[in-house]
Structure 1
């Protein structure tokens, strides 16, 4: 299938770029100070976050090139939870989103793995394409609000459809300030789902 072929290519691209990362890892640890600041809770400077963004964009650009997308633009901005968001636009990018965003999930996993390997610490990065995640985020947040309303009106828990970890987190965040419901996840991936439960007042 086309989507499976694309996923295979993304995984193979990780191996190619990882080899390059291994070579760079043998040199001076250029991100030691940034890692120390981040892990100690010190706010990173604009220059430090720019350096992290440069690494992420470098790897993302390399993978886009493998797909022949040499003229796509990559916008960088900060998310609501402090994550770095890279939004790709321009070109024929639908194939990199895939059915239900599965190829995009694989692409994000590759980028996160490569960047973490290079930095030697985990920094939250979200890869988006043509604002696909942004549109999906709005739908998921509305779904969460609707589920909370049903849970409160019926007085019973509401189980949402299985979601990936990123989407489940969006549900938890969307309802965390609602004192009338609680949320938790159940099941095992890829069938793990969120349960919205009304608080008994």
Structure 2
């Protein structure tokens, strides 16, 4: 994806769709800033397009995610599993958390499960610590070898609980948007969490979703269909 490329359209949502189509990505995967929200003017006088700027390209290594989609279905070499286990164990021990690390081929991804008495510290606020560690491990493992399968770091079933919690937020927000006939802005979320909302609500015929904002303030808005 090109850096700092600008796109124009009649409104911000259309500009995002235009950028996504041009760059070959899903709209929710774009990281962009709104340069001008545009204006319809008065009786067509003074109208101007909305403008957005795509900020940066997507990383080669997938960012931390809880939406576990299939990457490859081939068998993972045992030496790769052992290397992941060794690296993960070294990081956990360096953090002073202790515990046991189990790494195995889960079919759609490589699971690295950590059992520790300090799960809350490992996970961190809103999963920030475990997501950062997951990104670090993926980056280190695939730095000098071809990508095989995404490595998912988990502890005490945190990932599934988080998915269910976000789906609950999405469900309640959709009901509220329909009931109140207005757009509902969700709290700021990571790209992985936003993706869970988009996927969960994509088949709901009464609402649509879009991502808005920049950086850590990027969030999903649930919009009722007219």
Higher strand share: 2
Question: For residues 1-201 of structure 1, what are the structure 2 equivalents within 5 Å?
Answer: 44-45=73-74, 47-48=75-76, 52-74=80-102, 76=104, 78=106, 82-121=108-147, 123-200=149-226
The answer to whether the 8 A contact 1:77-1:85 is kept is: yes
Q: Between 157-166 and 52-61, report the one with greater CA deviation.
A: 52-61
Structure having the higher Rg: 2
Using the size of structure 2 for normalisation, the TM-score is: 0.59
Q: Between 142-151 and 87-96, report the one with greater CA deviation.
A: 87-96
Q: State the shift of 1:55 in Å.
A: 4.0
Q: What is the distance in 2 between the residues matched to 1:42 and 1:95?
A: 29
CA RMSD of aligned residues (A): 2.7
Q: Deviations over 1:117-136 (max 9, x none)?
A: 14333743321122222222
1:33 corresponding residue in structure 2: none
The answer to whether the 8 A contact 2:170-2:201 is kept is: yes
The answer to whether the 8 A contact 2:177-2:222 is kept is: yes
Q: Which runs of 5+ in 1 are unaligned?
A: 1-40
- For residues 149 and 77 of structure 1, do their structure 2 counterparts lie closer, same or farther at Cα, with a shift above 3 Å needed? farther
Q: State the shift of 1:69 in Å.
A: 4.5
- For residues 178 and 88 of structure 1, do their structure 2 counterparts lie closer, same or farther at Cα, with a shift above 3 Å needed? same
Q: State the shift of 1:188 in Å.
A: 0.8
Count how many residue pairs are aligned between Structure 1 and Structure 2.
157
Using the size of structure 1 for normalisation, the TM-score is: 0.66
Q: State the secondary structure of the residue aligned to 2:135.
A: helix
The answer to whether the 8 A contact 2:89-2:101 is kept is: no
Q: What is the distance in 2 between the residues matched to 1:157 and 1:50?
A: 49
